[in-house]
Amino acid sequence: MQTTDARTVSVSATSPLATHKVLRNTYLLLSMTLIFSAVMAGVSMALGVPRGVGLICSLVALGLLWFVVPRTADSANGLISVFAVTGLLGFGLGPVLNAYLSGFANGGQIIMLAMGGTGVTFVGLSAYALRSQRDFSFMRQALVAGVLIAFVAAMGLLVASMFGFYFQPLALAISAAFVVLMCGMILYQTSEIINGGETNYILATIGLYVAIYNLFTSLLHLLGFGMGED
């Protein structure tokens, strides 16, 4: 991929050829970031990183996602930002996976089911968006509002849990909401690429990666509650 300036990152999506290029670059970069994230998660698990360190990594990744990626997306530095975000999120996921492996007798099965469910969902929704060529831009406002509400609720629950208050039904409801919202995000982001609404493959990649990441962690939580064996 050529990423030396803004013209090579954002291309005009006025032709099918340009749209195909954005889509190809997005899926190529997405596959690379997913592999890198998985490697970082494995390193974190091998090192036995504590949950606190994992949480800090995730918060730093969130800051980069909000304040750095949008500012660097039109340059080669955008690639560095994307790998920094996905690497930190993967590293922060390690302690969570270790908790499932050590806390449940069938922790490995839960993790594999969450991975499989995430993969099948992503492939299925992407294939539908690509084949139907439907424009899902009408979902944008609802998705933004839904993600914001779910995120605020999740942060509130996290703060409450630090003081010894944890409401399991609310946690499950938040995870279920994220599953639905991330499915919508996959449809929306893919539709934006194929219909020319998103011409920057770096932004498209990070959007799809975040949807996949949140879908996986939410499914992991729901499956852990429903299938977990102490």
Residue 125 lies in a domain: yes
Residues 184-192, mean pLDDT to the nearest whole number = 96
**Interval 50-60: pLDDT, tens:** 999 999 999 99
Using alpha carbons only, what angle is made at residue 181 by residues 212 and 127, rounded to the nearest 5 degrees? 55
Q: Measure the CA–CA gap between 151 and 195, rounded to whole angstroms.
A: 28
Q: Which of 92-96, 161-165, 176-180 has the lowest mean pLDDT?
A: 161-165
123 assigned to some structural domain: yes
Q: 7 lies in a domain?
A: no
pTM confidence score: 0.91
Tokens of 105: 């007798």
Confirm whether 1 is domain-assigned. no
DSSP string, 153-207: HHHHHHHHHHTT---HHHHHHHHHHHHHHHHHHHHHHHHHHHTTS--BHHHHHHH
What value does the mean pLDDT take over residues 18-22? 88
Give the number of domains in the chain: 1
Q: Which domain holds residue 180?
A: 14-227
Mean pLDDT over each residue of the chain, to the nearest integer: 91
The answer to whether position 6 is within a domain reads no
The reported pLDDT for the residue numbered 19 is: 86
**Residue 3 counted as domain residue:** no
